[in-house]
Protein backbone atom coordinates (compact mmCIF):
# COMPACT_ATOMS: atom_id res chain seq x y z
CA UNK A 1 0.00 0.00 0.00
CA UNK A 2 1.38 3.43 -0.86
CA UNK A 3 1.60 5.89 2.01
CA UNK A 4 0.18 9.38 1.46
CA UNK A 5 2.94 12.01 1.28
CA UNK A 6 3.89 13.38 4.69
CA UNK A 7 2.47 16.86 5.28
CA UNK A 8 5.20 19.30 6.23
CA UNK A 9 3.99 22.81 6.89
CA UNK A 10 5.89 25.83 5.57
CA UNK A 11 8.97 23.75 4.89
CA UNK A 12 10.84 24.15 1.63
CA UNK A 13 12.62 20.82 1.83
CA UNK A 14 9.85 18.26 2.41
CA UNK A 15 12.34 15.67 3.65
CA UNK A 16 13.20 17.88 6.60
CA UNK A 17 10.70 19.08 9.18
CA UNK A 18 12.69 21.74 11.01
CA UNK A 19 10.31 21.77 13.99
CA UNK A 20 11.42 18.23 14.83
CA UNK A 21 15.14 18.86 14.80
CA UNK A 22 17.25 19.05 17.92
CA UNK A 23 18.87 22.41 18.60
CA UNK A 24 22.29 21.24 17.36
CA UNK A 25 20.87 19.80 14.13
CA UNK A 26 18.78 22.91 13.67
CA UNK A 27 21.86 25.12 14.08
CA UNK A 28 23.65 23.13 11.40
CA UNK A 29 20.66 23.34 9.06
CA UNK A 30 20.17 27.07 9.56
CA UNK A 31 23.88 27.80 9.18
CA UNK A 32 23.91 25.82 5.94
CA UNK A 33 20.90 27.72 4.63
CA UNK A 34 22.47 31.04 5.53
CA UNK A 35 25.75 30.02 3.88
CA UNK A 36 23.91 29.22 0.65
CA UNK A 37 22.45 32.71 0.12
CA UNK A 38 23.67 34.16 -3.19
CA UNK A 39 26.17 36.99 -2.89
CA UNK A 40 23.98 39.64 -4.58
CA UNK A 41 20.93 38.63 -2.52
CA UNK A 42 22.95 38.71 0.69
CA UNK A 43 24.23 42.19 -0.15
CA UNK A 44 20.70 43.44 -0.76
CA UNK A 45 19.44 41.86 2.48
CA UNK A 46 22.38 43.28 4.44
CA UNK A 47 21.58 46.74 3.10
CA UNK A 48 17.92 46.34 4.07
CA UNK A 49 18.87 45.24 7.61
CA UNK A 50 21.37 48.11 7.84
CA UNK A 51 18.68 50.65 6.87
CA UNK A 52 16.32 49.34 9.56
CA UNK A 53 19.05 49.24 12.16
CA UNK A 54 20.20 52.76 11.36
CA UNK A 55 16.66 54.11 11.75
CA UNK A 56 16.12 52.30 15.07
CA UNK A 57 19.45 53.37 16.54
CA UNK A 58 19.41 57.00 15.43
CA UNK A 59 16.05 57.23 17.17
CA UNK A 60 17.15 55.28 20.24
CA UNK A 61 20.65 56.78 20.47
CA UNK A 62 22.28 54.32 22.86
CA UNK A 63 25.35 55.57 24.75
CA UNK A 64 27.33 52.41 24.05
CA UNK A 65 26.29 50.04 21.31
CA UNK A 66 27.75 46.52 21.27
CA UNK A 67 28.10 45.40 17.65
CA UNK A 68 29.73 42.27 16.21
CA UNK A 69 32.36 41.41 13.63
CA UNK A 70 30.54 39.22 11.07
CA UNK A 71 31.58 35.59 10.83
CA UNK A 72 30.20 32.60 8.95
CA UNK A 73 27.86 34.54 6.63
CA UNK A 74 26.16 36.48 9.43
CA UNK A 75 24.62 39.75 8.20
CA UNK A 76 27.63 41.92 7.35
CA UNK A 77 26.95 45.41 8.71
CA UNK A 78 30.41 46.94 9.15
CA UNK A 79 29.65 50.00 6.91
CA UNK A 80 26.50 50.63 8.95
CA UNK A 81 28.47 50.43 12.21
CA UNK A 82 31.03 52.91 10.82
CA UNK A 83 28.18 55.24 9.87
CA UNK A 84 26.62 54.99 13.35
CA UNK A 85 30.03 55.77 14.83
CA UNK A 86 30.25 58.85 12.58
CA UNK A 87 26.81 59.84 13.89
CA UNK A 88 28.24 59.88 17.41
CA UNK A 89 27.28 56.44 18.75
CA UNK A 90 30.15 54.83 20.67
CA UNK A 91 30.77 51.21 19.70
CA UNK A 92 32.06 48.10 21.43
CA UNK A 93 32.88 44.55 20.33
CA UNK A 94 32.28 41.34 22.32
CA UNK A 95 35.20 39.38 23.73
CA UNK A 96 34.93 35.74 24.82
CA UNK A 97 36.58 35.61 28.25
CA UNK A 98 36.18 31.84 28.71
CA UNK A 99 33.70 29.07 27.93
CA UNK A 100 30.74 29.21 30.32
CA UNK A 101 31.18 32.92 31.08
CA UNK A 102 29.41 36.09 29.97
CA UNK A 103 30.96 38.14 27.18
CA UNK A 104 32.89 41.28 28.00
CA UNK A 105 32.86 44.29 25.72
CA UNK A 106 35.70 46.58 24.71
CA UNK A 107 35.57 49.96 23.00
CA UNK A 108 35.96 49.76 19.24
CA UNK A 109 36.65 52.46 16.67
CA UNK A 110 36.07 51.35 13.07
CA UNK A 111 39.44 51.10 11.34
CA UNK A 112 41.30 50.27 14.56
CA UNK A 113 44.04 47.55 14.44
CA UNK A 114 42.62 44.08 15.08
CA UNK A 115 43.84 40.58 15.91
CA UNK A 116 42.05 37.23 15.87
CA UNK A 117 40.67 35.59 19.01
CA UNK A 118 40.73 31.81 19.67
CA UNK A 119 37.70 31.35 17.36
CA UNK A 120 39.35 33.36 14.59
CA UNK A 121 37.05 36.34 15.20
CA UNK A 122 38.76 39.74 14.87
CA UNK A 123 38.96 41.75 18.11
CA UNK A 124 40.64 45.10 18.81
CA UNK A 125 44.37 44.82 19.48
CA UNK A 126 43.94 47.41 22.23
CA UNK A 127 41.42 46.05 24.77
CA UNK A 128 42.05 48.25 27.79
CA UNK A 129 38.72 50.08 27.75
CA UNK A 130 35.98 47.79 29.03
CA UNK A 131 32.46 49.00 28.22
CA UNK A 132 29.06 48.22 29.71
CA UNK A 133 26.79 48.62 26.67
CA UNK A 134 23.19 49.82 27.01
CA UNK A 135 22.28 48.22 23.68
CA UNK A 136 23.56 44.89 22.36
CA UNK A 137 23.30 43.52 18.83
CA UNK A 138 23.19 39.73 18.86
CA UNK A 139 23.61 37.90 15.54
CA UNK A 140 21.19 34.97 15.41
CA UNK A 141 21.65 31.54 13.90
CA UNK A 142 17.91 31.15 14.49
CA UNK A 143 15.02 32.96 16.12
CA UNK A 144 11.43 32.06 16.88
CA UNK A 145 8.11 33.89 16.87
CA UNK A 146 8.48 34.86 20.54
CA UNK A 147 11.86 36.57 19.89
CA UNK A 148 14.00 33.81 21.40
CA UNK A 149 17.37 33.37 19.79
CA UNK A 150 19.53 30.45 18.82
CA UNK A 151 23.26 31.17 18.57
CA UNK A 152 26.30 28.98 18.02
CA UNK A 153 25.63 27.08 21.23
CA UNK A 154 28.09 28.68 23.63
CA UNK A 155 25.40 30.41 25.68
CA UNK A 156 27.50 33.58 25.62
CA UNK A 157 24.75 36.07 24.80
CA UNK A 158 22.24 34.45 27.19
CA UNK A 159 24.73 34.68 30.03
CA UNK A 160 25.48 38.29 29.11
CA UNK A 161 21.82 39.33 28.93
CA UNK A 162 21.09 37.53 32.22
CA UNK A 163 23.81 39.65 33.82
CA UNK A 164 22.51 42.91 32.33
CA UNK A 165 18.70 42.63 32.18
CA UNK A 166 18.33 46.39 31.58
CA UNK A 167 20.21 46.24 28.28
CA UNK A 168 18.17 46.73 25.09
CA UNK A 169 18.84 43.65 22.97
CA UNK A 170 18.50 43.59 19.20
CA UNK A 171 18.78 40.31 17.31
CA UNK A 172 20.07 40.47 13.74
CA UNK A 173 18.94 37.73 11.37
CA UNK A 174 17.64 36.82 7.95
CA UNK A 175 13.98 35.81 7.54
CA UNK A 176 15.13 32.31 6.61
CA UNK A 177 16.57 31.97 10.11
CA UNK A 178 13.07 32.04 11.61
CA UNK A 179 12.31 28.66 13.04
CA UNK A 180 10.73 26.87 15.98
CA UNK A 181 12.74 25.13 18.67
CA UNK A 182 12.40 23.89 22.21
CA UNK A 183 13.44 26.53 24.73
CA UNK A 184 16.27 26.09 27.22
CA UNK A 185 15.70 27.34 30.79
CA UNK A 186 18.29 30.08 30.29
CA UNK A 187 17.02 31.42 26.97
CA UNK A 188 16.15 35.12 27.11
CA UNK A 189 13.85 36.77 24.56
CA UNK A 190 15.32 39.69 22.65
CA UNK A 191 13.62 43.11 22.75
CA UNK A 192 13.73 43.46 18.97
CA UNK A 193 14.74 41.28 16.04
CA UNK A 194 15.58 42.92 12.72
CA UNK A 195 15.61 41.06 9.43
CA UNK A 196 15.72 42.24 5.82
CA UNK A 197 11.90 42.18 5.77
CA UNK A 198 10.64 42.89 9.31
CA UNK A 199 11.16 44.25 12.78
CA UNK A 200 9.86 41.87 15.44
CA UNK A 201 9.26 43.56 18.75
CA UNK A 202 9.02 41.62 22.01
CA UNK A 203 6.65 44.34 23.24
CA UNK A 204 4.24 43.67 20.36
CA UNK A 205 4.36 40.02 21.24
CA UNK A 206 3.54 40.66 24.91
CA UNK A 207 0.78 43.10 23.96
CA UNK A 208 -0.77 40.72 21.45
CA UNK A 209 -0.74 38.01 24.12
CA UNK A 210 -2.52 40.20 26.65
CA UNK A 211 -4.99 41.87 24.28
CA UNK A 212 -8.53 40.67 25.02
CA UNK A 213 -9.46 39.97 21.36
N1 LIG B 1 30.17 37.67 14.95
C2 LIG B 1 30.02 37.09 16.11
N3 LIG B 1 30.86 37.38 17.10
C4 LIG B 1 30.70 36.77 18.30
C5 LIG B 1 29.68 35.83 18.52
C6 LIG B 1 28.79 35.56 17.45
O7 LIG B 1 27.83 34.78 17.56
N8 LIG B 1 29.00 36.20 16.27
N9 LIG B 1 29.59 35.21 19.75
C10 LIG B 1 28.46 34.61 20.25
O11 LIG B 1 28.46 33.87 21.17
C12 LIG B 1 30.80 35.18 20.57
C13 LIG B 1 31.73 34.13 19.99
N14 LIG B 1 31.16 32.86 20.11
C15 LIG B 1 31.32 31.84 19.23
C16 LIG B 1 31.09 30.57 19.68
C17 LIG B 1 31.29 29.50 18.83
C18 LIG B 1 31.68 29.72 17.52
C19 LIG B 1 31.92 28.58 16.61
O20 LIG B 1 32.00 28.73 15.41
N21 LIG B 1 32.08 27.40 17.14
C22 LIG B 1 32.39 26.23 16.36
C23 LIG B 1 32.96 25.18 17.27
C24 LIG B 1 34.24 25.67 17.86
C25 LIG B 1 34.73 24.84 19.02
O26 LIG B 1 33.99 23.96 19.49
O27 LIG B 1 35.84 25.09 19.44
C28 LIG B 1 31.18 25.73 15.66
O29 LIG B 1 30.06 25.94 16.18
O30 LIG B 1 31.33 25.15 14.57
C31 LIG B 1 31.88 30.99 17.07
C32 LIG B 1 31.69 32.05 17.92
C33 LIG B 1 31.41 36.53 20.59
N34 LIG B 1 31.59 37.04 19.26
N1 LIG C 1 22.70 32.29 32.17
C2 LIG C 1 23.16 31.02 32.04
N3 LIG C 1 23.62 30.35 33.11
C4 LIG C 1 24.06 29.08 32.98
N5 LIG C 1 24.08 28.39 31.83
C6 LIG C 1 23.64 29.01 30.73
C7 LIG C 1 23.17 30.35 30.78
N8 LIG C 1 22.79 30.72 29.54
C9 LIG C 1 23.03 29.65 28.75
N10 LIG C 1 23.53 28.62 29.46
C11 LIG C 1 23.89 27.28 28.94
O12 LIG C 1 24.81 27.40 27.86
C13 LIG C 1 24.59 26.38 26.89
C14 LIG C 1 24.40 26.97 25.52
O15 LIG C 1 23.27 27.81 25.51
P16 LIG C 1 22.43 28.11 24.19
O17 LIG C 1 22.11 26.83 23.50
O18 LIG C 1 21.30 29.01 24.54
O19 LIG C 1 23.54 28.90 23.33
P20 LIG C 1 23.36 29.96 22.19
O21 LIG C 1 22.47 31.06 22.65
O22 LIG C 1 22.97 29.24 20.96
O23 LIG C 1 24.85 30.47 22.02
P24 LIG C 1 25.55 31.93 21.90
O25 LIG C 1 24.76 32.91 22.72
O26 LIG C 1 26.92 31.73 22.45
O27 LIG C 1 25.57 32.29 20.47
C28 LIG C 1 23.35 25.62 27.35
O29 LIG C 1 23.77 24.43 27.97
C30 LIG C 1 22.69 26.58 28.32
O31 LIG C 1 21.94 25.90 29.30
pLDDT digits 0-9 by tens, 60-104: 999 999 999 999 999 999 999 999 999 999 999 999 999 999 999
Q: How many CA atoms lie within 13 A of 27 on its CB side?
A: 12
Burial (CB count <10 Å: 0-12, 13-18, 19+), residue 169: buried
Which protein residues touch ligand 1 with a CB less than 6 Å away? Answer: 68-71, 74, 94, 96, 103, 119, 121, 139, 151-152, 154, 156-157
pLDDT digits 0-9 by tens, 23-49: 999 999 999 999 999 999 999 999 999
Do residues 176 and 33 touch, judged by C-beta distance below 8 A? yes
ipTM above 0.90, yes or no: yes
Each domain of the chain, given as residue ranges in start order, spans 15-142+151-169+176-210
Q: What average pLDDT does the chain have?
A: 90
For residue 68, the ligand 1 atom closest to its alpha carbon is: 1
CATH number assigned to the domain with residue range 15-142+151-169+176-210, chosen from the 4 options 1.10.3720.10, 3.40.50.10420, 3.40.50.300, 3.90.120.10: 3.40.50.10420
Rounded to two decimals, what is the model's pTM?
Answer: 0.89
Pocket test for ligand 2, best of 98, 184, 187, 188 (most atoms within 8 A of CB): 184
CA 101–ligand 2 middle distance (angstroms): 10
What is the distance, to the nearest Å, from the Cα of residue 64 to the centroid of all Cα atoms in its chain? 17
Amino acid sequence: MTQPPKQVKEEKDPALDVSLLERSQLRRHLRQQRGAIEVATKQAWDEAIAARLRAVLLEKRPNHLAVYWPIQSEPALLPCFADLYQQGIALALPIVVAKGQALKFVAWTPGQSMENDAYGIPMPLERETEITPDCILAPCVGFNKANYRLGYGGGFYDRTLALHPEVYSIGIAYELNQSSFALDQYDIALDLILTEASAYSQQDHIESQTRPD
